[in-house]
Amino acid sequence: MLSRDEPRGTRGKNRGADRLGSEGRMHFNTRLLHGKAVKKYGDGATLPAVAQVNAFAYDSAEELDRVFHHRAMGFAYSRVANPTVAAFEQRISEMERGNGAVALNSGMTAISLSLLNFLCAGDEVIASCGLYGGSLDLFDDLAKFGITTRFAREMTPEAVEPLVTERTRVIFGEVIGNPSLRVMDISAMAAFAHERGIPLIVDSTTATPFLVNPLELGADVVVHSTTKYINGSGNAMGGVVIDASRFPWDFQKTPALEKFRAYGKAAYLIRLRTDVSENMGGIMSPVSAFLNVVGLETLGLRMREICQNAEKLSKALDEAFPDLDVNYPLLGRSPYAGIAREQLGGMGGGILTFRAGSREKAFAIINDLRYAVRATSIGDTRTLVIHPESTLYIHSDAGEKEAAGVYEDTVRVSVGIEDADDLIEDFTEAIRKNRG
Amino acid sequence: MVITVAGEQKEVPEGTTVAGLIALEKVDNPEYVSVSVNEDFVDREDFETRALAEKDVVEFLYFMGGGR
């Protein structure tokens, strides 16, 4: 399942939405449906069957022996690998231009295993302090195992440089911060990290391969919570780790990968596949993999609509309520407008935030919305709204909240595919009613 | 020249490459196979150019899961 990585693109050429496929002809939506990873499934089915089984039977002990020793192509046990899950892995790996992928049962499992795959006690991580609250909690948990995280206020070379030590083993950041909405310059951070012999892992959940392929900009590993935009309909939890198999691992610095030295640059992927995900568990369920394949096929359509809606809504609210402090990467005053336009193909993602003026006003606005659903998560077809300070960040201290752009009056909106005019009317009425 | 393929000694023409051996051996699902030569894995991009040598030990391996 290993194959050659492709040359890195340049920043301006990497846009998932418009970039041509490896065959030089297919654009994004066509590649989703007709790419190399789209197989001829059994009986002419246009989607992979759901192999909802635990174990796979063989005619002889010899055959099973060969499968267990990787000398024959086949599946043995669904905790390790499963045909439906593999079908999803192949398709998302192709869309991210990866060398291989491992699909897991949640985005947090994906992030956890992407790190535990090579970190040891005593190692240090550098992460952006404005991460999703669940990721911040994870780094707090990793500290109990002797893995220290140093947080950078911004994911920029200037902000990260003072944090680099002899023990730094990885730089981790979000492409579009959730809900900080800071946009990482992936090329700059990859160059910075590689000059210091450090791999760069990025969480691209909020960007999706439609906006950017981080591996083409130099990131070494990309993780997604597939629960969000990739699934798209809010009906299957999942996560995925996609490896470029390009980083030249120093096995003295990463002894956890030493046993896999023979695989060279694929050591990370092979350990994740055959050791860490197998032993720690957490593989995606076949049903979730099937639903994620179905969701993936409309990713381009949904993301285009979602991003257009989010841009229209943020601009409408910003114009109607200049003191609302609307935050969206494409707003002219956003310090990330330039890099978003350049790196994300002119799109800003599907999330925006605003400040209501007080916690009470935030709650009142949320409660008065007609179309937006009051629920956690992002990336659904329907617009979701939440008060992050009292929900997503309940385990974070004041400093962490501020760094993430989360205040007591912050409202986060995950924009859906409803008609933009309806969303604008809904939010405008609720805000006008409750802010005066 | 004689090499060892999946534990069996085989006679193959001088200059046989990894890609050539995959074809010669009619390896199952060649798009998914990983190849090690003397316990070192060969990058897929090098399959066409990596020439095998006398006494090389070659294994064809499959890691089920996703990849291109």
0.90 surpassed by complex ipTM: no
Judging contacts by C-beta atoms under 8 Å, the chain A residues touching residue B40 are 262, 264
Decide if pLDDT at A413 tops 90.
yes
Q: Tally the residues of chain B.
A: 68
Strands A384-386 and A410-414: antiparallel
Q: Do A89 and B28 touch (CB under 8 A)?
A: no
Mean pLDDT of A157-180: 97
Q: Tell me what the mean pLDDT of segment B15-37 comes to.
A: 91
Q: Does A264 sit within 8 Å of B66, measured CB to CB?
A: no
Amino acid, res. A363: F
pLDDT value, residue B66: 55
Could you tell me if B60 and B41 are in contact, meaning their C-beta atoms sit under 8 angstroms apart? no
- A317-335 residue pLDDT tens: 999 999 999 999 999 999 9
What residues of chain A lie within 8 A of the CB of B63, using their CB? 1-2, 70, 100, 270, 273-274
Question: Is pLDDT at A13 greater than 50 in this prediction?
Answer: no
What's the order of all strands across the beta sheet hosting A384-386? A351-355, A410-414, A384-386, A373-374
Compute the mean pLDDT over every residue in chain A, rounded to the nearest whole number. 92
A2 touches chain B (CB under 8 A): yes
* Torsion-angle region of A282 (φ positive above 0: left; ψ -120 to 50: alpha; else: beta): left
Checking if the pLDDT of B33 tops 90, the result is no
Interface contact A36, partner B, CB < 8 A: yes
Query: Is residue A79 scored above 80 in pLDDT?
Result: yes
Give the pLDDT score at A17.
53
Q: How many Cβ contacts (< 8 angstroms) between chains A and B? A: 95
Across the interface, of B28, B34, B59, the residue whose CB is closest to A2 is: B34
A196 or B31, which is more confident: A196
Contact A199, A193 (CB under 8 A): yes
Chain B residue closest to A35 (CA)? B68
Q: What is the rounded average pLDDT of the residues A266-290?
A: 94
Is B22 at the interface with chain A, CB within 8 A?
Answer: no
Query: Using the beta-carbon criterion (under 8 Å), do B40 and A92 form an inter-chain contact?
Result: no
The pLDDT-based confidence of A18 (bands split at 50, 70, 90) is low
A80 shares contact with chain B (CB less than 8 Å): yes
Q: What percent of chain B has pLDDT over 90?
A: 56
Model confidence pLDDT, tens digit, residues A334-351 = 999 999 999 999 999 999
pLDDT of amino acid B68: 39
A193: which 2 tokens?
A: 């990290």
Q: In this complex, do B68 and A99 lie within 8 Å of one another by their Cβ atoms?
A: yes
Q: Is B65 in Cβ contact with A75 (below 8 Å)?
A: no
Question: What is the DSSP-derived secondary structure letter of residue A276?
Answer: I
Peptide bond into A83 cis (omega under 30): no
Burial A58-96 (b: 16+ CB within 10 A, else e): eeeeeebebbeebbbbbbbebebbbbbbbbbbbbbbbbb
Q: Provide the pLDDT for residue A404.
A: 86
Q: How far is B3 from chain A (nearest CA, A)?
A: 18
Q: Could you give the dihedral angle defined by the CA atoms of residues A154, A156, A157 and A160, in that order, rounded to the nearest 10 degrees?
A: 20
Cα separations in angstroms, A415 against A200, A236, A328, A389, B49: 29, 19, 12, 19, 50
Residues 6+ apart with CB under 8 A from B52: B1, B3, B12, B16, B17, B18, B21, B37, B58
CB A201 within 8 A of CB A114: yes
A53 pLDDT more than 50: yes
Q: Answer with the residue of higher pLDDT: A374 or B34.
A: A374
Q: Where are the beta strands (DSSP E) in A226-337?
A: 239-243
B32 has pLDDT over 90: no
Q: What is the pLDDT of residue A262?
A: 85
Checking if the pLDDT of A1 tops 60, the result is no
B63 touches chain A (CB under 8 A): yes
Q: What is the pTM of this model?
A: 0.91
- Tokens linked to A119: 């970190």
